[in-house]
Amino acid sequence: MSTSVHLGAHAQQETASGRRPFLILLGTVAILFGVILAYAETRSFSWAEGFQLLAARLIQSGQRPYLDFCFPQTPLNAYWNAFWVSIFGASWRAIHAVAALLVAGSVFLTADFVLKRFPDKRWRLVGSLAAEFFVALDSSVVLFGPIGQAYAICLFLSVAAFRMTVVAVERDTLWFAAAAGLLASAAAASSLLTAPAVPVFLLWMLFYNRAGNRWTKLAAFVAGAVPPFFPVLWLFLKAPGVVWFNLVQYHLFFRRVRWEGATKHDIDVLLSWIDSSQAMLLGLLAIGGLLFTATASGWERARRAEIYLSAGVAIMMSFEIGTAHPTFTWYFLLIVPFVAIPATVGFYAAGSRLYRPDRPIWPAAVLIVLLSLGLGKALHDDTESLTWGDMEAIAKKVQEVTPPDGTLWSSEHIYFLTHRPVPDGMEFQAGTKLDLTMAQAAPLHILPRPELDRRVKSGAYNTISNCDDDRIDELGLTKLYAHKQEIGSCSVFWGFKK
C-alpha cells in the first residue's frame, strides 16, 4: 500500500514538473502580451494602416474591395477587420487589441514549438524563452505588429501553418495537411508577402512525409488552400480587369510612381540590418544555428529537418519581401519567428560551449538584456512619430470646421475616424499619384492627380487636412484657404477664398 502511494506521489510530482515549463512559458507570454497591448493602445501607428481600416469600415457598410473602391492587396485582413468593426464599431483600439493578441499568439506558437521539439531537453525551457524573446522583443514586431495592417494575422497564420506542417508528416490523418494548407493560404490571402511559404510547406511535407500516403496529403493541402481565396475568385469573376489591376498591375507598374529615389531606398532597406543590433544578433545566431544543425551528432533527422523548414520559409519570404519595390524594413517582421527557431539553436550552440551546458540561465539573461536594449532604443527613436492621438485631434478639428454636408479631402485615417462619406477615388490615397485619364481611372475608383489638383484649386473641398509640407506648398493651400491650424506635423485648412 505504501509503495503504491509513493509511486502515485512520484507520478504527480513528475506531472507537475512537466507542466511547470509550459506554465512558465505561458506566464511570460501573458506578460509580454500586456506590454505589446499597452504600446498598441498608446503609440502604435502606421501611415499605411489607414487604408486598411477604412477598407474594413467600407466592407462593413456593404461595399466590395476592387469593385467599389481601390484596394491593391489580398482582402482577407480587410474582411477580418470588418468583422471586428461590426462588433465594436469603427474603433482603431479594438483592431489594435485583436492584432496584439495575434502577435502574442504567434510568439506562443514559436516558443511552444521549441519547448516541445528542441533536441536537448536540458535547454528546452530556456530555448523556448529565447525564441519567445527573439520574436516578442523584436522592434519591428512591437512597432508594426499590433496595428490594422496584415502583419499580425500573417504572423499567427504562418506560424500556425508551420506547426501543422511538422505534425502532418507524422500522422496518417489528412486533417493536419488540410489545416496546414488552409492556414498558409489564409496568410497569403491576407498579404502576398507570405505567399512563398505555401509551396515551401507543401514541398517539405511531401519530401519528409513519414506516415500515410504523401499524395493524398498533397491533395488535402491543396484542398485546404483554396477556400481563403474564394473572395478574390468571386470578385475576379465580377470584374476581372479591375481585380487584375489591383493585385498585379499596380504592383508591377505603379508602386514606384512619383518616387525618384525608390531604388536607392530599396538598397538602403536591404542593408539596414547592418545598423540594427537586433537584426545582426538574430541573423548571426541563425546562421550559426544552421551550421550547428548540419553537424550536430545525436540529433534526429526529423528535428533537423524542422529547423531547415523554418529557415527555408524565412529565406523564401525574404526573397519576396526584398524584391517588392519599394520595400520597407518592417516587412521583414514576417520572417522573425522563422529566423528565431534556427537562432535559438545558435544561441544553444554558443551558450553550451562558452558556458556550462547544464546552466543555461545566464546566457539567456544576457540575451534578454541585449534584445531589451535594442527594443528600448527603437521605441525611444519612435517617440516623435505620429500617433492615433494626433489623428483624433485632427479629426476633431475637421468635424468642428466642416459643415455636416460639407466636402472633405483628408487621409484615410480621418475618413475612418469621422465616419464621413468618402469621395470616390479617395479610399486609397496613394492612387492619387497616378497620372491616368479619367476614363482609365474611373472603373478603378482612382482619382488621378491632375483631376485632384483641379478640384482643390476650384474649391471643391470645404476642408483639407494634409501632413505633407511639399504637397501643401505645391497646391498653395495657405493662399487658397482663409484658415489654417497646425496639429502636430499636420495642417487643417478651411474657408476657401472664393
Count of beta carbons in the 10 Å neighbourhood of residue 10: 10
Evaluate whether residue 428 is within a structural domain.
Answer: yes
User: Does 15 reside within a domain?
Assistant: no
The residue from 381, 416, 451 where one domain ends is: 381
157-172 residues labelled b (16+ CB within 10 A) or e (exposed): bbbbbbbbbbebbeee
Could you tell me how many helices (H) and strands (E) the chain has, helices first? 23, 4
Grid cell of 464 as nine digits: 483639407
Residues paired with residue 494 on neighbouring β-strands, in sequence order:
463, 483
Domain shared by 330 and 195, yes or no: yes
Cα–Cα distance for residue pair 164/247, rounded to 1 Å: 28
The answer to whether the beta carbons of residues 323 and 270 sit under 8 Å apart is no
Determine phi and psi for 226, rounding to 5 degrees.
Answer: -75, -45
On whether both 105 and 179 belong to a single domain, the answer is yes
392-438 pLDDT per residue, tens: 999 999 999 999 999 999 999 999 999 999 998 999 988 888 878 88
Could you give the residue ranges of the DSSP H alpha helices within 61-150?
Answer: 76-88, 92-117, 124-136, 139-144
Q: Give the CA distances from residue 94 to residues 71, 385, 483, in Å, rounded to whole numbers and listed in that order.
A: 22, 21, 34
Give pLDDT < 70 ranges for the chain.
1-18, 258, 354-359
Burial class (CB in 10 A: 0-12, 13-18, 19+), 433: middle
Closest CA to 175 of 216, 204, 206, 203: 216
Burial of 361 per CB tally in 10 Å (0-12, 13-18, 19+):
exposed
Within a domain: 5: no
Which burial class, exposed, middle or buried, applies to 293 when counting CB atoms under 10 A from its CB (0-12, 13-18, 19+)? buried
Same domain, 435 and 456: yes
Q: What is the pLDDT of residue 19?
A: 85
Find where cell 520574436 sits: 135
Helix residue spans in 323-408 (DSSP H): 336-354, 361-381, 388-401
Residues 135 and 278 in one domain: yes
C-alpha to C-alpha distance for 401 and 203, rounded to whole angstroms: 58
Please report whether residue 435 resides in a domain: yes
> What sign does the CA torsion over 435, 437, 443, 448 have?
positive
pLDDT score for 430:
87
pTM of the predicted structure, to 2 decimals: 0.93
Check whether residue 363 and residue 421 sit in a common domain: no
Instruction: Give dist(CA 317, CA 323) in Å, integer.
Output: 10
- Do 412 and 439 lie in one domain? The reply is yes
Pair 334, 156: CB distance under 8 Å: no
Domain of residue 309 covers 20-381
| Domain shared by 294 and 436, yes or no | no
Select from 252, 255, 243 the least CA-distant residue to 431.
255
Looking at the structure of the chain, the number of domains it has is 2
Dihedral-angle region of residue 160 (phi above 0 means left; psi in -120 to 50 means alpha; beta otherwise): alpha
Q: Is 1 within the bounds of a domain? A: no
CB 467 within 8 A of CB 492: no
Which helix (H) or strand (E) element contains residue 408? strand 408-409
Q: How far is CA 412 from CA 138, 415, 420, in A?
A: 28, 5, 11
Nearest of 205, 27, 2, 257 to residue 129 by alpha carbon? 27
Question: CB pairs under 8 A, 24+ apart, for 395-400?
Answer: 397/465, 397/485, 397/487, 397/492, 398/463, 398/465, 398/492
Is there a domain that residue 462 lies in?
yes
Structural domain ending residue among the three candidates 351, 381, 411: 381
Does residue 341 sit in the same domain as residue 420? Answer: no
* Shared-domain flag, residues 68 and 114: yes
> Of 389, 404, 412, 425, which is closest to residue 465 (Cα–Cα)?
412
Residue 355: its pLDDT value, please?
64
331 and 460 housed in the same domain? no
Residue 7 inside a domain? The answer is no
pLDDT score for 252: 85
Q: Are 32 and 101 in contact (CB under 8 A)?
A: no
- Domain end marker among 381, 412, 433: 381
Q: Can you read off the three cell numbers belonging to residue 302?
A: 526529423
| Residue 377 sits in the same domain as residue 413 | no
Contact 155, 145 (CB under 8 A): yes
Q: Are 190 and 235 in contact (CB under 8 A)?
A: no
Q: Do 285 and 158 share a domain, yes or no?
A: yes
Cα–Cα dist 407/454, whole Å:
15
In a domain, 12, yes or no: no
Q: Which H helix or E strand runs over 481?
A: strand 481-487
Q: Starting from the edge strand earliest in sequence, which strands make up the sheet with 408-409, in order? A: 408-409, 463-466, 490-496, 481-487
- DSSP, res 324: S
